[in-house]
C-alpha cells in the first residue's frame, strides 16, 4: 500500500507582519511590584491563578483550569517565569 505525499503550496498566504504593541486606554499600564501564581483545587480540577501587586492594589485573575495538579503546576511556573522575564513592565487589567 503506497501513500501519496502532497506538497504544500503557500503561494496564496500573505506574509505575516508584526504590529507594534499599543497600550489600550482602558488598560492598566502601571509598573507591577510583584507577581505570584497559585494552583487551587476547584470542582475536581486544578486552576491556575495569577496575582499581580501594584502600588495602588492587587489584581487576581484566573488563567486556566487543568485536569491534573502536575499540569497546573507546570503552567503556573511557566506563567510566572514569563511574567517576571526581562524587567519589562507587567500589564494586567
What would the pLDDT profile of 31-63 be if each residue is shown by its tens digit?
788 899 999 999 999 999 999 888 888 999 999
As a whole number of angstroms, the distance between CA 89 and CA 36 comes to 15
Amino acid 12: pLDDT: 47
pLDDT digits (tens, 9 = 90+) for 16-33: 555 666 666 666 566 788
Please tell me which residue, 92 or 68, carries the higher pLDDT value. 68
CA–CA separation, 66 and 52 (whole Å) = 21
Asked whether 72 and 85 are in contact (CB, 8 A), the reply is no
| Residue 74 neighbours by CB distance under 10 Å | 14
Q: What is the pTM of this model?
A: 0.60
Name the grid cell of 84: 517576571
**pLDDT at position 50:** 93
Amino acid at each position: 500500500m503506497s501513500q501519496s505525499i502532497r506538497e504544500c503550496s503557500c503561494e496564496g498566504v500573505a506574509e505575516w507582519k508584526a504590529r507594534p504593541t499599543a497600550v489600550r486606554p482602558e488598560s492598566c499600564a502601571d509598573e507591577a511590584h510583584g507577581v505570584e501564581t497559585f494552583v487551587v483545587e476547584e470542582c475536581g480540577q486544578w486552576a491556575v491563578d495569577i496575582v499581580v501587586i501594584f502600588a495602588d492594589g492587587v489584581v487576581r485573575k484566573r488563567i486556566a483550569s487543568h485536569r491534573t495538579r502536575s499540569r497546573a503546576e507546570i503552567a503556573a511556573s511557566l506563567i510566572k517565569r514569563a511574567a517576571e522575564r526581562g524587567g519589562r513592565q507587567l500589564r494586567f487589567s
